[in-house]
Chain A
Amino acid sequence: MWDLCTNALDTAKLRGASYGDVRAMHLRQRDLTTKNGQVGTLAQSESIGIGVRVLANGAWGFASTDRLTREGVAACAAQAVSIAKASALAKRSNVVLAPEKSYVDSWQSPFRKDPFEIPLETQLALLLAADGEMRKVKGVTLTETSMQFRKIDSWLASSIGSQIHQRKVISGCGIGATSFQGGEIQKRSYPNSFGGQHALEGYELVDSLELLKHAPVIADEAAALHAAAQCPEKFGTVILAGNQLGLQIHESIGHPIELDRVLGQEANFAGTSFLTLDQFNKLKYASRIVNVVADARLDHGRGLGTFAYDDEGVPAQCTAIIKDGKFCGYLSSRETAHLIGLERSSGTMRTESWNRLPIIRMTNVSLLPGTWDYGDLIADTSDAILMDTNRSWSIDDRRYQFQFSTEIGWEIRGGKIVRMLKNPSYSGITTEFWNSCDAICKFDHWTLWGTPNCGKGQPMQTMGTGHGAAPARFRNVRIGTAFSKQ
């Protein structure tokens, strides 16, 4: 593969490129689902190809091909240069990249069990057994389970001399029970909605989930939700479970800190950000107990945003985003870091596949653990609603105003969970919400959640991101608006 990459770089240089990087990728994926006791999807796929990104005449060009011959990649590289020169017809200024060293390295994400080596019969038997446990519960009308495994090899070569091979193994698994009764659809999912938990792990992730233990629990809850009281509409205290807080971090911290959004490069599609450059190192984003990092290093955990190098060859880093409540960091690339005077990219350029351009993406944007024991937090709360497992999510295009609903809520009175609530939701303004945080649980309750479906870019790219979170408490939050009958 290195020969093809070098060939592409040589061609790009010959054609007039001042900089080039080449990503060859081989992606393998297996998808298994069941529905109502029957196998649904049973598929695997592989895709291999090469993408060439170049700077010529001060502008970017990118071309990709699945023709992995010397002629094929040379034509692809020449086309990338041709496109870059066309870009220069309508460039605003010459692209300048922040300096970076070159690296020659090979890295593989750690895993204990290769999911592609586990017999399919074993995987399907577990899903069908979990499906069966859920179908035993009266009132459940639809059961679904899924596993997804990916193995991604990437070879990055750049004209500054880097040659980096990375192999990532990613696993995902989840189950869900839906109940339709009396003109109402209720659903419960485990361990998270929209496909469950996803991580940079092997089949040990599936083992750790104990699906058969949790299947009857969520099925019971799905059926019971119909008879539960409606979540009230009011201002009050909310405790967010870790899986919901992970998505809250994603939407209201992870996206607004993307420097391409801040600089207007995503204005047409993904939107911009309220975190304009004048807010940098000034804005009181959150209460003093809130500390958030963007950490792609393995030390942070095996998340969907963990790697050794980003897709333009910058080593994984930990960037402080919010320190003691104060906003202090963006996600940047070599191009955007330079634009705001940073000395170096924070290493967040990532691509979905060989046929997509690397763009700024979240890595693992995580809320660092606090000090509270979960039991103590509940006991310390006199009147609140605990909200668990996302059901819907929406936020404006500058990331100010959001609304989330969750699958299930629990009313807390006098330090105890007293009853189930259905249709819980909350909404607010990002900075007001994060400034209302007064308790975060400690590391024992912290999980690095995976969000596998983050869409961004044109053409659209789907990327996995990680979000470490432990349950946390927020005061004076607007509750129940989504289901308001006003």
Chain B
Amino acid sequence: MTVAPRARINMGGKKTERAELRSPRELRGIIETVLRLAKSAGAPETEVHVDEVADALTRFANNGIHQNVFEHGVTVSIRTATGGRTARATTNRLDEDSLRAAIEASLSLAHSEPPDPRLLPMPGKQRYRAVRRFIRGTAALTPEDRARAVRLACDLAARKRQMAAGIFSSGQSQTAVGNSRGLFATYCETHSQFSVTMQEDPAASWAKADSADVREIYPQKLAERASRKAHLAVKTQELAPGRYTVTLEPAAVLDLVGFMFYDFAATAVQDKRSCLNNRMGKQLFGKNINIGDDVYHPLQKGAPFDGEGMPRQKVLLVDRGVPKNLVYSRASAKMARRKPTGHGFALPNEYGEAPMNLVLSGGDSSVEKMVASTNRGLLVTRLWYIREVDPYEKVMTGMTRDGLFLVENGRVTGAVRNLRFNQSLIEMLGKVELMSPSIRATGEESFEMVVPAMKVRDFHFSEVTKF
């Protein structure tokens, strides 16, 4: 392990290796300072968010580290409300003059707008269910720890005459929200990710894991998995586009289903831009589809409160294929005469709320069983560049990437060139034949959620690319 030479400047020893986040007392102190200054400035109501991150990311390509970064920062975001007007100002300077300037900016912005009679007073004190997602071992990970894990992946690639590329990230973050009506909430978590692409010209494959606890991430196993699949994908054949039975690995399911999260926002339905307009309570998906939002799920991360500090509720969104419930901010709940579910974004905003902790219930199958039960179909490792083509039918387009395999008579018989899909998610969730148990999945298009692998029939591929 290489250690930076000490001396001359007092660096605080190990603190240069890993940042210490502020204590909960310090966060509360910042909030109380802002509330005091805002009161002096004449703000009738004030809300304060304090967010702090200390994140590191080691990036590698061509079998070596080529980027390696660390950041530490804190932001204070202040919302004032006065006479039906509200606005937000954010700064990362914590001295009283800067905080006072941010308060003045927030008040000035608010005074410039016409009053909105629907603006609700800020919520009062709330009770929160505790969640523990801060793992000391993750917070303590050093650049040397990450470099050693990366080196193992790169050495494996070199032995296999492959090229490794990817990231190993780790970090910690905390957030606190408080307001002038006595609300106060804090949350902290750690996070770590290892993602690896193994390239064996002209093929590549990929594996990735995400966890609050770095001990649950196995870089070597992920590298070995990507390496095996890259080797399998070297010789490809071109397959005609069309409808195929597909086995979607969890990352592929996540990156597709993740695009539905905002459709479950009450504001999206009120604005008539959700695919659930006029479809609530109807049999929209297959009866084997159950979707909920649950920040307390053991595989989930995130704060147990929303942008206004309201406690997040567990919400059943889809029950046996029927959309049953939406998530509500305080404003959209009032409009719909419902109770807020604790999913609101920080105000002011035009999007309202969204479920940020989707859990799609799985089954008892496995990727291996799905492949074994397929007469002719495709095994999809990962999807890429997914975009919405039709917002109401929820048609998504995108490409397969990093390993698309032909399945014949219950086994993988070879790799095929990547295909473009144009597929309605509504239709897809009506044609799910098998599901694995749900896992914490991580991809690149959606934020992490808990989803299963899926076997889906009649998945629509429209075009083929050149590799």
CB pair A458 B112 closer than 8 Å: no
What 1/0 mask marks residues of chain A from 334 to 364 whose CB sits below 8 Å from any chain B CB? Answer: 0000000000000000000001110000000
CB pair B385 A44 closer than 8 Å: no
CB pair A83 B273 closer than 8 Å: no
CB pair B11 A396 closer than 8 Å: no
CB pair A48 B388 closer than 8 Å: no
State whether the Cβ of A375 lies closer than 8 Å to any Cβ in chain B.
Answer: no
Docked complex Cα distance between A191 and B105 (Å): 30
State whether the Cβ of A1 lies closer than 8 Å to any Cβ in chain B.
Answer: no
* Also in contact, A39 and B116, with CB within 8 A (given A83-B68, A142-B271, A392-B397): yes
CB pair A87 B143 closer than 8 Å: yes
Docked complex Cα distance between A57 and B9 (Å): 21
* Also in contact, A78 and B466, with CB within 8 A (given A60-B68, A141-B272, A185-B391): no
Min distance, Cβ B431 to any Cβ of chain A, angstroms: 16
State whether the Cβ of B90 lies closer than 8 Å to any Cβ in chain A.
Answer: yes
State whether the Cβ of B148 lies closer than 8 Å to any Cβ in chain A.
Answer: yes
* Also in contact, A89 and B199, with CB within 8 A (given A46-B92, A394-B398): no
Contact sample, A vs B, 20 pairs, CB 8 Å cutoff: A14-B8, A16-B5, A33-B350, A35-B271, A35-B350, A39-B348, A42-B348, A43-B88, A45-B90, A46-B102, A78-B9, A85-B4, A90-B147, A90-B150, A91-B64, A185-B391, A268-B59, A403-B463, A427-B420, A459-B71
- Name the A residues within 8 Å of B385 (CB-CB): 394-397
State whether the Cβ of A239 lies closer than 8 Å to any Cβ in chain B.
Answer: no
- Name the A residues within 8 Å of B444 (CB-CB): 269
Min distance, Cβ A240 to any Cβ of chain B, angstroms: 18
* Also in contact, A124 and B113, with CB within 8 A (given A47-B75, A178-B273, A486-B460): yes
CB pair A89 B462 closer than 8 Å: no
State whether the Cβ of A482 lies closer than 8 Å to any Cβ in chain B.
Answer: yes
CB pair B4 A458 closer than 8 Å: no
Which of B159-167, B177-185, B296-304 interfaces with chain A?
Answer: B159-167
State whether the Cβ of B389 lies closer than 8 Å to any Cβ in chain A.
Answer: yes
* Also in contact, A89 and B68, with CB within 8 A (given A43-B90, A395-B385): no
Min distance, Cβ A429 to any Cβ of chain B, angstroms: 7
CB pair A41 B93 closer than 8 Å: no
CB-contacts of B52-111 with A (<8 A): 55-75, 77, 86-93, 102, 105, 108-110
CB pair B390 A398 closer than 8 Å: no
In order of increasing CB-CB distance, the 10 nearest A-B pairs are A92-B64, A40-B350, A86-B143, A120-B112, A401-B465, A45-B90, A180-B272, A267-B165, A90-B151, A82-B4
CB pair B384 A397 closer than 8 Å: yes
CB pair B151 A42 closer than 8 Å: no
> How many residues of A sit at the interface, in one of the four size bands?
35 or more
* Also in contact, A90 and B392, with CB within 8 A (given A45-B89, A45-B90, A396-B465): no
CB pair B165 A91 closer than 8 Å: no
State whether the Cβ of A159 lies closer than 8 Å to any Cβ in chain B.
Answer: no
State whether the Cβ of A400 lies closer than 8 Å to any Cβ in chain B.
Answer: yes
Closest to A39 in B: B113
CB pair B12 A75 closer than 8 Å: yes
Closest to B208 in A: A268
State whether the Cβ of A281 lies closer than 8 Å to any Cβ in chain B.
Answer: no
State whether the Cβ of A265 lies closer than 8 Å to any Cβ in chain B.
Answer: yes
- Name the B residues within 8 Å of A458 (CB-CB): 57, 59, 67, 167, 169
CB pair B73 A355 closer than 8 Å: yes
Docked complex Cα distance between A333 and B167 (Å): 21
Min distance, Cβ A460 to any Cβ of chain B, angstroms: 10
Within 8 Å by CB of B273, from A91, A180, A263, A403, lies: A180
What 1/0 mask marks residues of chain B from 372 to 391 whose CB sits below 8 Å from any chain A CB? Answer: 00000000000011111111
* Also in contact, A89 and B350, with CB within 8 A (given A43-B88, A264-B165): no
Docked complex Cα distance between A142 and B420 (Å): 31
Min distance, Cβ B147 to any Cβ of chain A, angstroms: 4
* Also in contact, A57 and B90, with CB within 8 A (given A43-B348, A486-B462): no
* Also in contact, A459 and B150, with CB within 8 A (given A79-B17, A180-B272): no
- Name the A residues within 8 Å of B93 (CB-CB): 46, 48, 66
* Residues of chain B at the chain A interface (Cβ within 8 Å): 2-5, 8-12, 15-17, 55-75, 77, 86-93, 102, 105, 108-110, 112-114, 116, 118, 142-144, 146-148, 150-151, 154, 163, 165-167, 169, 195-197, 199, 204, 206, 242-243, 271-273, 277-278, 348-350, 384-392, 395, 397-399, 401-402, 418, 420, 422, 444, 460, 462-467
* Also in contact, A427 and B113, with CB within 8 A (given A355-B73, A403-B397): no
- Name the A residues within 8 Å of B418 (CB-CB): 396, 401
Within 8 Å by CB of A397, from B386, B388, B401, lies: B401
State whether the Cβ of A61 lies closer than 8 Å to any Cβ in chain B.
Answer: yes
CB pair B392 A267 closer than 8 Å: no
- Name the B residues within 8 Å of A274 (CB-CB): 466
Docked complex Cα distance between A157 and B5 (Å): 24
Most chain-A Cβ atoms within 10 A of its Cβ — which of B62, B116, B154, B464?
A: B62
What 1/0 mask marks residues of chain A from 215 to 228 whose CB sits below 8 Å from any chain B CB? Answer: 00000000000000
State whether the Cβ of A88 lies closer than 8 Å to any Cβ in chain B.
Answer: yes
- Name the B residues within 8 Å of A63 (CB-CB): 69-71
- Name the A residues within 8 Å of B466 (CB-CB): 274, 398, 400-401, 429
What 1/0 mask marks residues of chain A from 80 to 121 whose CB sits below 8 Å from any chain B CB? Answer: 111111111111110000000000000000000000000111
* Also in contact, A401 and B4, with CB within 8 A (given A63-B70, A86-B142): no
CB pair A268 B167 closer than 8 Å: yes
Within 8 Å by CB of A60, from B66, B70, B72, B116, lies: B66
- Name the A residues within 8 Å of B350 (CB-CB): 33-35, 40-41, 144
* Also in contact, A49 and B73, with CB within 8 A (given A87-B58, A90-B60): yes
Docked complex Cα distance between A124 and B110 (Å): 11
* Also in contact, A62 and B197, with CB within 8 A (given A49-B73, A392-B388): no
Closest to A178 in B: B273
CB-contacts of A261-275 with B (<8 A): 263-269, 271, 274
CB pair A264 B61 closer than 8 Å: yes
- Name the A residues within 8 Å of B88 (CB-CB): 42-44
- Name the B residues within 8 Å of A85 (CB-CB): 2, 4
CB pair A119 B389 closer than 8 Å: no
State whether the Cβ of A484 lies closer than 8 Å to any Cβ in chain B.
Answer: yes
CB pair B55 A459 closer than 8 Å: yes
Docked complex Cα distance between A15 and B7 (Å): 9
CB pair A66 B72 closer than 8 Å: yes
Within 8 Å by CB of B147, from A60, A89, A93, A398, lies: A89
- Name the B residues within 8 Å of A429 (CB-CB): 465-466
Closest to A43 in B: B88
